[in-house]
Amino acid sequence: MEAEGLEMRSSNPKSRQLLDKGAIAFCIFVGRELAHIGWITMTKQAAVTSMKVDFSNNEVHGGLAWTNPKYRRMGFQQYCAVKRRQFAFSKGKTVYRTEILKSNTASQAAIAKLVRKYGEGRHLKIMWWQFWKETPLTRTGYD
C-alpha cells in the first residue's frame, strides 16, 4: 500500500513491528490520507496486550484503533470495528476481546452499540513485573 503512496505507519510507530508479528490492520483512507486504522491479532505471537486472551480457544484480540483528528465523529471507528469483528468471526473465531481505557469516553461511546462490556481490568506494571486482573461486571452495557 505504501508503494502506491498510501501512508499508514505514521499513525503508530509500531506498525511495521505489528505487521511483522502477524497482526492485521484494517485501514480507511480518504484519498491517500489515512482516516482510521484498527488492528486485530489472532495469535499469541502477534498480541500486544496484557489482557488474557485464549487464542487456542478461538479468541481474538482487537484494538489499537486510531482515527485521524480531521476525520473524527464521522463513524469510521464504528464501521471499522464492525468489519474487524465480521472478519474475525468469518475465520472461525468465537470471542472478540478488546480493552478501552476507562478515561477514553470517545472510543467507548463509538462502539457502545456494537459490543457488551463484560468486565473491568487492571494492569499494574512495576519495572519488569506485570499484573493483570479482570473483574466481571454484574450489569451489561456501557454506563
Alpha carbon distance 139, 142 (integer Å)? 9
Domains observed in the chain: 2-117 (3.40.630.30)
Compute, in degrees rounded to 10, the torsion defined by CA atoms 102, 120, 38, 92.
Answer: -160
Alpha carbon distance 39, 63 (integer Å)? 5
Furthest CA-CA distance within the chain: 49
Alpha carbon distance 114, 35 (integer Å)? 20
DSSP 17-68: HHHHHT-EEEEEEETTEEEEEEEEE-STTT---SS---GGGTEEEEEEEEE-
Alpha-carbon distance values, 24 to 37, 109, 125, 140 (Å): 10, 24, 27, 29
pLDDT tens-place values along the chain, 143 residues long: 666 666 665 556 677 788 888 899 999 998 888 899 999 999 888 887 778 889 999 999 988 888 889 998 898 988 998 999 999 999 999 988 887 777 877 777 777 777 777 777 777 888 888 888 878 777 655 54
